[in-house]
């Protein structure tokens, strides 16, 4: 099974990306519109992706579970560098199947000061719409998406649950999006 898939749209020969990837490792492709969603965060505030359209790019970070080592490390990197990840031009939204109540404690314990959105019910529906829901485990794989102000995916990656990601890559993609804007 593949440990990670990046989707930069069509392959170099112009063909479509490999559709034989397992469920949960078929992220929405670069150039495609991002699926809209409405989810609650750790403070029970409602967020919609479309609410940022025309105003900010959005970095959407799916993770399997709160309180686990890799997830805590990845989100901790965002938190430590929040002023670099989030700006007047970019919003960070993280998403897992944990409840808003679990997210509240996780955010407090880890000092996470950005929205932790709950894809609790319908169970994993948003992760499914982004192509990163792992049906064998019932959680999101590690999916990351950078969505521009028009709601179009400009960066897309998906890793299996146990394979961490490089948050520095996300910063490079945010910078690239700002440069191309």
User: Which of 25, 71, 112, 147 is the catalytic position?
Assistant: 71
Q: 40 to each of 43, 46, 171, how far by Cα in Å? A: 8, 4, 25
Closest CA to 127 of 80, 91, 94: 94
* Inter-residue contact 137 to 161 (CB < 8 Å): yes
Active site residue 71: yes
The token pair at 47 is 């967020």
* Inter-residue contact 99 to 116 (CB < 8 Å): no
Who contacts 105 (Cβ-Cβ below 8 Å, separation ≥6)? 66
Q: What is the C-alpha separation between 153 and 58, in angstroms, rounded? A: 9
Active site residues: 71
């Amino acid at each position: 099974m593949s440990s990670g898939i990046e989707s930069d749209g069509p392959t170099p020969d112009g063909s479509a990306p490999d559709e034989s990837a397992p469920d949960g490792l078929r992220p929405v492709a670069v150039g495609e519109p991002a699926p809209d969603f409405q989810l609650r965060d750790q403070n029970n505030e409602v967020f919609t992706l479309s609410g940022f359209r025309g105003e900010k790019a959005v970095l959407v970070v799916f993770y399997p579970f709160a309180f686990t080592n890799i997830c805590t490390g990845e989100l901790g990197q965002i938190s430590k560098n929040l002023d670099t990840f989030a700006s007047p031009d970019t919003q960070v939204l993280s998403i897992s199947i944990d409840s808003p109540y679990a997210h509240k404690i996780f955010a407090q314990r880890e000092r996470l000061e950005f929205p932790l959105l709950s894809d609790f019910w319908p169970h994993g529906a948003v992760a499914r719409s982004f192509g990163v829901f792992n049906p064998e485990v019932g959680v999101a794989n590690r999916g990351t998406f950078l969505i521009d102000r028009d709601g179009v995916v400009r960066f897309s990656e998906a890793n299996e649950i146990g394979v961490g990601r490089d948050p520095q890559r996300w910063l490079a993609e945010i910078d690239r999006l700002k440069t191309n804007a």
